A and B are shown apart, each in its own frame.
Chain A
């Protein structure tokens, strides 16, 4: 048995060694292949239009849907254990590939009915930690009120620790300080300050909600077509034509004013300039058509 335990310790050290080894191997492979691929650009891919791409992303069918359902349902056997650990004062840290949102909400809905549950969608960039804490305090306050009404129930640990119903007091009691930076915790804090119980629960469920705010890596290149179209149109219009059109619509009265407007637009990157093959400057608006339409609507 002692040998077995000894081997487990060596396995950890071997993992660290392999991590370093594989990193440097990858660097080596990367350096040798970088030259070969330096001429291969992502713009060379035959990109589809961004709108079409977004629609297709939305409609991607889920592979192995039944098997994934079966896998996630198998974790229901662990709900009592997770519930027990929570009641022992531990937090649950679930990891593994695949969205765990549905799993966690199912666990909370089925096994945590005795407790208030607040879901914080941490993947949203607009998260306001302070507001989340206030909501938590409100739920906790409600829970305490429930507990007080139950005459037969002995005082819970929460009640012993905190007896005021004021939300402000709750927040003060929680004594939470907002993090100074974007890192919620580091590795040291995980092991020393938090009481996590780790659980490996890969689900392979798609990251539908979590991936909403990530840019599509092939999306921006779809604008090339729109930009080309705009460029063609503008190329066909010499500057004097542009000035004539603006003057006809009483937008500018002289070339100097037109140039000052264009300069300001260029400063704000609303308009960009490119030198055409015939040597003339061509201006174009680097926005997709739908964005332009929306802008015009809002301006109207």
Chain B
């Protein structure tokens, strides 16, 4: 955590925690202060800003600058860097998720158009010819409503909620009338009127006193509204009241001849509607299934775009990668929670790493020139800090100049790009084995495995002990990459050709490797052509016995595997092994864990049971298990509460507390000055009862106790049992 002399908060009086409640404390809310008029120049000392901006600053003038990397200006630069980097990551994520959905959205769009044309041809006439406001009373034929069932594959609600929103926006952009009805609209409390009102509010832009389909029909009959389908999107069928939804479907089916309504519903699986709706409502639906991408497909696409391909200026270390993978699994594979965790990791990185502001210059297309220029302007104190990074200290006798820093960062960027290319090559093989990219990523970031690989001559050994993302636990044995190399040896020629073609694309910027891949690709392609031609000949039996064909394809696979092995050894060096990696790589999994996952119930209990480790006074016992009367009253009470079961007898508890407090009267060895008033107060019965009541209130506020009930007026109930 950077501590900045100039960014410390201004001196303020002690924080008064013991004051009685003031007027503000009794107001539901109040304005503490309004924003001061902002002057951007005020934030940074003008002299410092001027010196840093000088493009002609000489080393001599920079030496005179006392601004260190923890100065406010660098804090602002880091914040700016975070905004730029995260903005890039966010837009990448949005684009990836959009791309994943676009094929499904196109299919839905086409199906809606087809369904609408069928409805029109069967039922609807022109708007001018519609006279009746009510459906034909004698129409006994069951009218079916076209229904797109979007199968979410058990994706978490919050994930597919976003997808639905995008789909609605997409269909609206196509000119359709779109209304969204959520589970709240189909609640049993409001019944059918609730969903009708919501529908009318969204389409007709009014809420009539009497919600009726005839209102919708009148609106639809207007020339501007006619001739476009009405899409009713229901995010999650299972969260609705089944009875209300069934009623709604039945009522709507009577209007199919007048209103071209089409449902788009979210469901976990194909059987959901059959289990959820009664048969007489079900018969009014004409379903067509569309399948959304699974959470793992989305995760693969995200990891590829954000952590591997894109040079966003931010990456994560091995421990953080494993943690995020487990976090993803622990939250039911929620993409939203993963993205939030990644953002927090990014924010923590730019908050904690003083040199992270340089990342911005690594994003430029001409990053080498950009880095050279910016590093030259850095003051000596900042340069010194950069070369004090642990990754630089490992390399002794290295030059410590602005040029060396710029060169080092440029080299880091280049090496990261090569590392990413090799991962993508591995993933192309992994796709054939249905391996998850996050598993490969976690293994590729592991420095320990990297050292093993470099010392192990036979990487292609296969282990059956590894587990992967689908199985749900850590791939702790680290043999995914070995498996992939072995897989290359066993690929059919056609598959090998495709893989080599993709490798060629991924390694375009790695000249030496690229040329080898292309050479191998040509060889395998010619072998494949020869094999295809020969197989078309009449004498297949003779060709199969030909020793030349088998031998060539075998050597092609071997060469491909050897090439991949070579790429892994040379380029798949984890970023944490590289110089200056601290600038771009976030590794502090402990900080991320505590910021992401609070464990308040457990921690509050620890606070109370081990209060001395926080308060650090000299009067309370230093032993963890000893109960000292000088301890915080709530600590004493909670320690005493551990001796009871789930119910604590108030009378017993009070007497135990009283005994503890009075025991300390004679044995008090408090080093802190205790006022006479405090001593006297500690002795009176009223005071002890007051302290008991106050401590009970505090334990109640912190959620550790439940107050007596009428059934058990003499007992309080413990709620927390974590320790």
B17 at the interface (CB under 8 A from A): yes
Question: Which of A62, A68, A78 neighbours the largest number of chain B CB atoms within 10 Å of its CB?
Answer: A68
Is A132's CB under 8 angstroms from B28's CB? yes
Structural contact, A69 and B17, CB atoms closer than 8 A: yes
Q: How far is the CB of A32 from chain B (nearest CB, A)?
A: 7
What's the least CB distance linking B39 to chain A, in Å? 7
User: Could you mark each residue 74-98 of chain A with 1 if its beta carbon is under 8 Å from any beta carbon of chain B, else 0?
Assistant: 0011111100110111100101111
The answer to whether B31 touches A116, judged by C-beta atoms less than 8 angstroms apart, is yes
> Do the beta carbons of B607 and A97 come within 8 Å of each other?
yes
Partner among B35, B595, B650 whose Cβ is within 8 Å of the Cβ of A199: B595
Which of A23, A52, A139, A205 lies in contact with B686, CB distance below 8 A? A52
- Interface check B389, CB cutoff 8 A: no
Stretch at the interface among B109-117, B228-236, B275-283, B689-697: B689-697
* CB pair B351 A84 closer than 8 Å: yes
B: number of interface residues (CB 8 Å): 130
On whether the beta carbons of B331 and A192 are closer than 8 Å, the reply is: yes
Q: Which residues of A contact B1 (CB under 8 A)?
A: 77-78, 81
Interface centre among A37, A53, A59, A66 (most CB of B within 10 A): A37
| Partner among B3, B331, B595, B632 whose Cβ is within 8 Å of the Cβ of A64 | B632
Interface string of B668-685 (1 = CB under 8 A from A): 000010010110010011
Q: A105-B32, A111-B9 are in contact. Are A44 and B598 (CB under 8 A)?
A: no
- The total of chain A residues at the interface (CB under 8 A) is 131
In the complex, the answer to whether A103 meets B15 with C-beta atoms within 8 Å is yes
Q: Does A174 have its Cβ within 8 Å of any Cβ on chain B?
A: no
Min CB distance, B650 to chain A, in Å? 4
Least CB separation from B605: chain A residue: A97
A295 interfacial by beta-carbon distance below 8 Å: no
Q: What 1/0 flags go to A109-144 for Cβ under 8 Å of B? A: 111011111111101101110011001000100110
B175 interface contact, C-beta 8 A: no
When distances are taken between beta carbons in the complex, the residues of chain B under 8 Å from A294 are none
Q: B337 contacts the other chain (Cβ, under 8 Å)?
A: yes
* Structural contact, B672 and A66, CB atoms closer than 8 A: yes
Within 8 A of A (CB), among B18-52: 18-21, 24-41
Distance in angstroms between the alpha carbons of A217 and B9 in the assembled complex: 41
- B residues near A118, Cβ cutoff 8 Å: 29-32
CB atoms of A115 and B35 under 8 A apart? yes
Residues of B within 8 A of A147 (CB): 38
Quick one: closest A residue to B631, CB to CB? A63
Q: Provided the pairs A60-B694, A109-B33 are in contact, do residues A93 and B598 lie with their beta carbons within 8 angstroms?
A: yes
What residues of chain A lie closer than 8 Å to B8, measured between beta carbons?
76, 80
The answer to whether B82 and A146 touch across the interface, beta carbons within 8 angstroms, is no
Q: Determine whether the beta carbon of A102 is less than 8 Å from that of B693.
A: no
Complex CA–CA separation, A121 to B702 (angstroms): 16
Contact, CB under 8 Å: B651 / A32: no
Residue contact B701 to A214, C-beta cutoff 8 Å: yes
Within 8 A of B (CB), among A243-268: none
B474 within 8 A of A: yes
B593 at the interface (CB under 8 A from A): yes
Nearest-neighbor residue (CB-CB) of A180 within chain B = B184
Quick one: which of A65, A143, A197 contacts B344, CB cutoff 8 A?
A: A197
Q: Assuming the A-B contacts A198-B596, A204-B615, are A2 and B474 also in contact, with contact meaning beta carbons closer than 8 angstroms in the complex?
A: yes
Q: Which residues of B contact A66 (CB under 8 A)?
A: 672
A71 close to B615 (CB less than 8 A): yes
Chain A-chain B contacts (Cβ-Cβ < 8 Å), number: 368
In the complex, what residue of chain A is closest to B13 when comparing beta carbons?
A106
The answer on a CB contact under 8 Å between B19 and A208 is yes
Closest to B691 in A: A60
B194 smallest CB distance to A (angstroms): 13
Give, as a whole number of angstroms, the nearest-CB distance from B722 to chain A.
5
Cβ-based interface call for A219 (8 A)? yes
Do the beta carbons of A19 and B722 come within 8 Å of each other? yes
For B681, list chain A residues within 8 Å (CB): 56, 59-61
Give B30's nearest chain A residue, CB to CB: A119
Tell me which of B2, B32, B39, B694 contacts A57 (CB under 8 A): B694
Residue of A nearest to B698 (CB): A207
Which residues of chain B from 637 to 679 have any CB-CB distance to chain A below 8 Å in the complex?
644-647, 649-652, 654, 672, 675, 677-678
Residues of A within 8 A of B651 (CB): 37, 40-42, 44-45
A149 at the interface (CB under 8 A from B): yes
Tell me the residues in window 90-105 of chain B with beta carbons closer than 8 Å to chain A beta carbons: none
Q: Which of A30, A70, A110, A121 contacts B12 (CB 8 A)?
A: A110
The answer to whether B32 touches A117, judged by C-beta atoms less than 8 angstroms apart, is yes
**Do B37 and A149 touch across chains, with their CB atoms under 8 A apart?**
yes
Contact B597 A198 (CB under 8 A): yes
Q: Tell whether A22 pairs with B722 under 8 Å between CB atoms, given A37-B649, A68-B615.
A: yes
Mark each residue of chain B from 552 to 591: 1 if its CB lies under 8 Å from any CB of chain A, else 0: 0000000000000000000000000000000000000100
Tell which of B32, B75, B675, B715 touches A84, judged by Cβ atoms closer than 8 Å. B75
* Contact of B713 with A by CB under 8 A: yes
Chain B positions within 8 Å of A97 at CB level: 604, 607-608, 611, 634, 698, 702
Please measure, in the bound complex, the distance between the C-alpha atom of A5 and the C-alpha atom of B587, giving whole angstroms.
Answer: 12
Whether A192 contacts B690 in the complex (CB less than 8 A), given A80-B7, A110-B9, A198-B594, comes out as no
> Bound complex: CA of A23 vs CA of B722, how far in Å?
8
Provide the residues of chain A in CB contact with B631, threshold 8 Å.
63
Complex interface residues of chain A between 276 and 296 (CB less than 8 A to chain B): none
> With A19-B721, A79-B9, A198-B595 as given contacts, are A206 and B35 in contact (CB-CB < 8 Å)?
no
The interface residues of chain B lying within 8 Å CB-to-CB of A123 are 701
Cβ of B518 < 8 Å from any Cβ of A? no
CB distance from A146 to the nearest CB of B (A): 5
Most B Cβ at <10 Å: residue of A108, A147, A192, A195: A192
Contact B649 A40 (CB under 8 A): yes
Please state if A56 and B687 are interface contacts (CB–CB under 8 Å): yes
Query: Do residues A47 and B36 form an inter-chain contact, with CB atoms below 8 A?
Result: no
B residues less than 8 Å from A124 (CB atoms)? 26-28
Pair A139/B645 contact, Cβ less than 8 Å: no
Least Cβ distance of B388 to chain A in Å? 21
Which residues of chain B from 692 to 721 have a CB within 8 Å of any chain A CB? 692-694, 696-698, 700-702, 707-708, 713-716, 718, 721
Near B by CB (< 8 A), chain A positions 6-38 give 6, 8-9, 15, 18-19, 22-23, 25-34, 37
A4 touches B319 (CB 8 A): yes
A22 and B615 form a contact (CB under 8 A): no
Residues in B whose Cβ lies below 8 Å from that of A126: 28
CB distance from A179 to the nearest CB of B (A): 12
Cβ of A238 within 8 Å of any chain B Cβ, yes or no, is: no
Report the Cα distance A79→B351, complex, angstroms: 12
Residues 481-512 of chain B, each 1 if its beta carbon lies under 8 Å from chain A, else 0: 00000000000000000000000000000000
CA gap between A81 and B702 in the complex, in Å = 26
Nearest Cβ on chain A to B113's Cβ, whole angstroms: 32
1/0 per residue B39-79: CB within 8 Å of A?
Answer: 11100000000000000000000000000000000010011
Alpha-carbon gap, A214 to B706, bound state (A): 12
Minimal Cβ-Cβ distance residue in B for A93: B598
Contact B20 A58 (CB under 8 A): yes
Q: How many angstroms from the CA of A49 to the CA of B349 in the assembled complex?
A: 57
Are B721 and A84 neighbours in the complex by a CB distance under 8 Å? no
Nearest-neighbor residue (CB-CB) of B591 within chain A = A81
Decide if A200 is an interface residue (CB 8 Å cutoff). Answer: yes
C-alpha spacing A1/B448, complex, angstroms = 8
Q: Assuming A41-B651, A62-B17, A192-B331, what are 15 further A-B pairs, CB within 8 angstroms?
A: A1-B318, A23-B646, A33-B649, A40-B652, A42-B650, A56-B684, A80-B75, A88-B83, A110-B9, A119-B32, A120-B28, A205-B17, A214-B701, A217-B697, A218-B654
Listed from nearest, the 7 A-B pairs whose CB atoms lie closest are A30-B645, A198-B598, A56-B690, A29-B645, A205-B17, A110-B9, A97-B607
30 A-B residue pairs with Cβ-Cβ distance under 8 Å, sorted by A, are A1-B319, A8-B589, A8-B593, A15-B722, A32-B645, A56-B687, A56-B690, A57-B693, A62-B17, A69-B15, A80-B2, A85-B595, A87-B79, A88-B79, A90-B344, A95-B600, A96-B600, A96-B603, A110-B9, A113-B33, A117-B32, A128-B28, A132-B28, A147-B38, A192-B334, A205-B17, A217-B707, A218-B654, A218-B689, A218-B692
